[in-house]
A = this chain, B = another copy of it.
Amino acid sequence: MEKVYGIIMAGGGGTRFWPLSRKGTPKQLLNLSGKEVMVNEAIDRLTRVAAYEDIYIVTNCEQADKMRAVTTGRILPERILSEPCARNTAACIGYAALKIMRERGDGVLVITPSDAYIRDEEAFGRVLGVAVRTASSSNKLVTIGITPTFPATGYGYIRYRDAQGEVKPVVRFVEKPTRKKAEEYIRSGCYVWNSGMFVWKASVILKKFKRLLPDLYAQLLKIAASFGKPEESRVLEEIYPELPSVSIDYGIMERSKDILVIPGEFGWNDVGSWDMLGVLHPQDEAGNVVVGNAVNVDTQNTVIYSSGKMIAAVDVSDLIIVETPDAILVCPKSKAQDVKKIVEELKAEGREELL
């Protein structure tokens, strides 16, 4: 069995959980479930196929210190790779793959985001196992799809050819669809959500980079030439900002044949905004999700999150109410995505202390 490495992509800004998420404390560093910080949950899940000491985290310099602190005891400090700036997922994955290839040797890379919730971890581990074996034996690119539970318009989809077995050949990747298209996809039964989870050998993906993203690859090689040398961080800081910003989906997946997808059903949820807090916490009879100190009178379908002060909600419905040590958010659940507008507004007003 080939060596397996985990790569957790944890560079996201995560403005949609403002005011709890901040520039230096994005969603993956929050403990939204009340149990464990999200990135640690992602790490622990990966240990079903990779050892703790073989798990890498790619983050950015603004979060790196906090990331090291939060993952202490799980992740070796030298496994935390810090991008000088965000250059999308292709750069992130290419950088980590080269790092592992050069310093540890070839192996199967299991790449996941840092901030999704997975209810059935056992089923997830089983799917990862299948993906690792497939990537190892076939030298192909493998991705994990999510069997859709509703016609989501916020995710990309993957069309697959219905074949025998758990592993399906990918027909094509499709962008976030309209509602109507999404409903068609679900009816067809041959589409899964693109979860952003990938499994492949380091050597295989690097060959893809060389062929499909030669400019990016050439730049990454310059960075790799400095690995382990005194100038490593200087070179990284010089070259990284110049890397082309392209997603792995657009740069490699959509332009490759012979990709395999494993449709997975393990209660995946990206917990993308406050309205999804009910994924992590029980609801009361009136549909309220209450975390922390609160009193309700005649309140329904409302998400209440208090980090300290008592929140009294009287006769409101379908709201999000969040309290943190320095700010309060009130927003309809249906506009949970618009929370980022507040962050933009605060940025425009120069209120750095609240970003």
Contacts and interface: CB of A to CB of B under 8 A. Distances in A.
Interface of A: 18-19, 295, 297-298, 306, 309-316, 319, 321, 323, 325-332, 335, 338-339, 341-342, 345-346, 349, 351, 354
A6 B319 CA distance: 47
Contacts of A332: 314-316
A327 B314 CA distance: 13
Contact of A309 (B312, B327, B341): B327
A331 B309 contact: no
A18 to B, nearest CB: 8
Given A326-B309, A342-B295, A331 B315 contact: yes
A329 B312 contact: yes
Report how many copies the assembly holds.
2
A306 to B, nearest CB: 8
Contacts of A342: 295, 297, 312, 314
A310 B330 contact: no
Nearest to A320: B314
B314 A331 contact: yes
A321 B312 contact: no
Contacts of A325: 309
Contacts of A295: 342, 345-346, 349, 351
Contacts of A339: 314
